Structure 1
């Protein structure tokens, strides 16, 4: 398995700060969100933080599988649909949350289900950016984000050692 050239490790503290920052941004969009639809699994953690910060009690999930390994994003599959009552009015007043938009394939699929919803992600890569309304941090397309729930505590080589020829 070849890993991406650039790595962006995110600690629990940093992710929590970024998710709270996303809550601040979407709080300025609407004061009365009807519900959150989080894209599982990555959207679960930021949805929990945002629901707490904004007092949103209704949290729904849509389960979409797309990453089949660390190198290739295969076909996308909807494993769990959004409840029909939240799909009414094309998602108006609904906040869609995910950790990241990468290629935009997952975002495009969920956006098509709820075209009037507000789509927010913590991180965004250039290919997926046009599909989301709000995000906190832009990351280059060739960077792999290592989320805290995917990592253990290990030594990290200095950046300079990775660029020695």
Structure 2
């Protein structure tokens, strides 16, 4: 697949800005659901987006072993081929019996499902949880909190900055 550069307008087709407070509440809601499913031996964050929710979920579940699987699929403007930059450690793999049983994979979002499919191949028996899910990737996720349309671009709090918004009466959109 050729890289496609997205304009700001395309990325914001249906904008869904998420504040730190809202993201934290959504991560805690995810944890409430996961608490009924566990216990888990370890949390595996899909980087980079899964780092923040994995930390919150691990804290709330009392899980001390946190690992990462680093997969590059796109930056803020273009999507390309998947590349595993770092796999999970041998110690974490052993906790999951080599197939991921008893491991919890956490990511911020499942979008097209490409990353999710790759992680499922590596850890087929792990429980896969995301905070947000889009329709194309949703079948790959075991637990999620909020589904958004495929054309929605989620603006995560770590990707945005506070700025002045002019009043509507001054012509603001």
**TM-score greater than 0.5 by the shorter chain:** yes
Distance 1:110 1:23 in 2: 20
Q: CA deviation at 1:69?
A: 4.0
Q: CA deviation at 1:84?
A: 2.4
Q: Is the 8 A contact 1:87 1:113 kept in 2?
A: no
Where does residue 68 of structure 1 map in the other structure?
75
- What is the aligned counterpart of 2:120 among 93, 111, 115? 111
Distance 1:126 1:79 in 2: 26
Q: CA deviation at 1:155?
A: 4.1
Q: CA deviation at 1:68?
A: 3.4
TM score, norm. by length of structure 2: 0.86
1:58-137 to structure 2, matched below 5 A, reads 58-70=65-77, 72-88=78-94, 89=97, 90-137=99-146
Q: Which runs of 5+ in 2 are unaligned?
A: 1-6
Q: Give 3-state SS (helix, strand or coil) of 1:74's partner.
A: strand
Distance 2:165 2:82 in 1: 32
Distance 2:8 2:50 in 1: 26
Q: CA deviation at 1:87?
A: 2.7
Q: Which runs of 5+ in 1 are unaligned?
A: none
